[in-house]
């Protein structure tokens, strides 16, 4: 792909410079065209060579929804506590809403440790804005998640005959997830250069985190003594509020969501600082 890459400075800057939100914003906005092109390339690479191409983005969410419905709704006879109906369809939608959120998070972080290691030419041969690579990876995962959400809403209409009345609040729920994921992706992309086991470690951590988040169960099913501790997990707050807004017609839990958003912003800013201060050593290691 022929892409004009703007020359950027790799001169060392003090930490205070990168701690300014305006610095982060200017960097990403200045490379917005390159970010868009690389994000779309990442989407296309996923399905390169397949007969159906990007159509798989629509088919895979529907297939996974059918699989989870059969396994948890038919085989295990699971139902979501506190819902108005005990239908398999409602349970499947509830489960899938949590999985869409978690998949966006885990897919980006699983790929992060290899983003720099897997693109040594960007480090050694050209002056390239390496900080956009985690964002492009997140953008490709977000594209897939949006397809999943469209499939979720379509199935919601089929199963319940309606859409949630608080659907418009979902972007407010999604924003903390994007900031948190991007900040951790910056950190892991840098860490993956210096610690080659980072990919294996993050895979294990994400598996554990999946079961410590209320994806396959309701937080109300957790013993009361552990519920407050679980809400310290940002994914818990995001998953719960995604279901509230996408499916159940409830407004977000603003107290928890605002706190999670503030913490996610801090993680994003610190992840950017870490990446920019450690990137000068990438070429030496690679």
The DSSP code sequence of 111-170 is: HGGGTTTT-HHHHHTS---TTHHHHHHHHHHHHHHHHHHHHHHHHHHHHHSS--TTGGGH
pLDDT band for position 246 (cuts 50, 70, 90): very high
**Does the pLDDT value for residue 56 go beyond 80?**
no
Mean per-residue pLDDT over the chain, rounded: 86
- Per-residue DSSP letters for 175-244? HHHHHHHHHHHHHHHHHHHH-TTHHHHHHHHHHHHHHHSTTSS-GGGS-HHHHHHHTTSHHHHHHHHHHI
**Does the pLDDT value for residue 10 go beyond 60?**
no
pLDDT band for position 7 (cuts 50, 70, 90): very low
Query: 252-286, pLDDT tens digit by residue?
Result: 999 999 999 999 999 999 999 999 999 988 888 87
pLDDT band for position 5 (cuts 50, 70, 90): very low
Determine contact, residues 214/240, Cβ cutoff 8 Å.
Answer: yes
0.95 exceeded by pTM: no
CA distance 37 to 39: 5
Higher pLDDT, 79 or 113: 113
**Does the pLDDT value for residue 54 go beyond 90?**
no
- Residue 12 pLDDT: 64
Determine contact, residues 281/268, Cβ cutoff 8 Å.
Answer: no
**Does the pLDDT value for residue 85 go beyond 70?**
no
Query: 204-223, pLDDT tens digit by residue?
Result: 999 999 989 998 888 888 88
Task: Give the residue extent of every domain in the chain.
Answer: 32-279
How much of the chain, in percent, has pLDDT values that exceed 70?
88
């Amino acid at each position: 792909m022929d892409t004009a890459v703007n020359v950027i400075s790799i001169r060392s800057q003090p930490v205070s410079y990168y701690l300014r939100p305006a610095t982060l914003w200017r960097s990403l906005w200045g490379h917005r065209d390159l970010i868009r092109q690389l994000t779309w390339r990442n989407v296309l690479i996923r399905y390169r060579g397949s007969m159906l191409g990007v159509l798989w983005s629509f088919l895979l969410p529907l297939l996974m929804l059918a699989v989870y419905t059969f396994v948890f709704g038919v085989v295990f006879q699971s139902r979501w506590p506190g819902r108005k109906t005990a239908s398999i369809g409602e349970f499947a939608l509830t489960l899938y809403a949590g999985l869409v959120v978690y998949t966006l998070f885990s897919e980006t972080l699983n790929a992060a440790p290899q983003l720099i290691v897997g693109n040594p030419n960007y480090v050694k041969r050209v002056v390239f804005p390496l900080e956009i690579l985690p964002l492009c990876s997140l953008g490709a995962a977000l594209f897939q998640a949006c397809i999943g959400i469209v499939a979720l809403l379509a199935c919601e209409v089929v199963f319940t005959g309606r859409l949630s009345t608080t659907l418009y609040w979902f972007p407010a729920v999604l924003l903390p997830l994007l900031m948190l994921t991007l900040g951790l992706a910056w950190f892991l992309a840098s860490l993956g250069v210096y610690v080659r086991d980072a990919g294996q470690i993050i895979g294990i951590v994400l598996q554990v985190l999946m079961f410590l988040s209320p994806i396959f169960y309701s937080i109300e099913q957790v013993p009361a003594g552990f519920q407050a501790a679980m809400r310290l997990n940002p994914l818990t707050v995001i998953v719960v509020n995604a279901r509230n807004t996408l499916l159940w017609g409830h407004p977000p839990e603003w107290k928890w969501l605002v706190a999670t958003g503030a913490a996610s912003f801090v993680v994003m800013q610190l992840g950017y600082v870490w990446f920019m201060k450690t990137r000068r050593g990438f070429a030496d290691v690679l």
